[in-house]
Every structure is written in C-alpha cells, then in structure tokens.
C-alpha cells in the first residue's frame, strides 16, 4: 500500500513546473541582489562621474 502511494507520488508531475519557475525566479533574484551588492558603489560612481555630466550638457545643448 505505501509503496504504491510512493510510486504515484514520484510519478505525479502536475506541480513540477510551478516549483521550477519559483526556484528559477528565486535564483535570478539572488543573483541580482549579489550583483548589486558587489558592484553597487562602482556603478553609482560611474554614473555620477564628470564624464557623464559632460555628455549630459552636450546632449542638452543640441
């Protein structure tokens, strides 16, 4: 009886896709969080650099 229930449980695949998508979404979220944590200050400094200000003033003068 229990062996049959175990076999049916293993063969059942109805919720598999939802779980896979949830795990994939979680993995992407963790990867994004790690990336922002590691490179956050460097990206902030890049976009606040004088070169970006110069490009902005050139774009505004056109």
**pLDDT value for 59:** 66
Q: Distance between alpha carbon 56 and the CA centroid of its chain, in Å? A: 30
Residue 13 lies inside a defined structural domain of this protein: no
Highest mean pLDDT among 13-17, 30-34, 37-41, 57-61: 30-34
Three-state SS string across 21-40, please? HHHHHHHHHHHHHHHHHHHH
How much is the average pLDDT of 6-30?
A: 86
Residue 46 lies inside a defined structural domain of this protein: yes
**pLDDT value for 31:** 96
| Domain ranges, residue 47 | 37-62
Residue 42 lies inside a defined structural domain of this protein: yes
Number of domains in the chain: 1
How much is the average pLDDT of 33-55?
A: 79
Residue 2 lies inside a defined structural domain of this protein: no
Exposed e or buried b for every residue in 21-41, given b needs 16+ CB within 10 A? eeeeeeeeeeeeeeeeeeeee
How many alpha carbons lie under 13 Å from residue 27 in its C-beta half-sphere? 6
């Amino acid at each position: 009886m229990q062996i049959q229930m175990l076999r049916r449980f293993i063969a059942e695949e109805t919720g598999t896709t939802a779980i896979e998508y949830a795990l994939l979404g979680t993995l992407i979220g963790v990867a994004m969080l790690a990336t922002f944590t590691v490179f956050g200050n460097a990206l902030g400094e890049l976009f606040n650099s004088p070169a970006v200000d110069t490009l902005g003033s050139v774009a505004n003068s056109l």
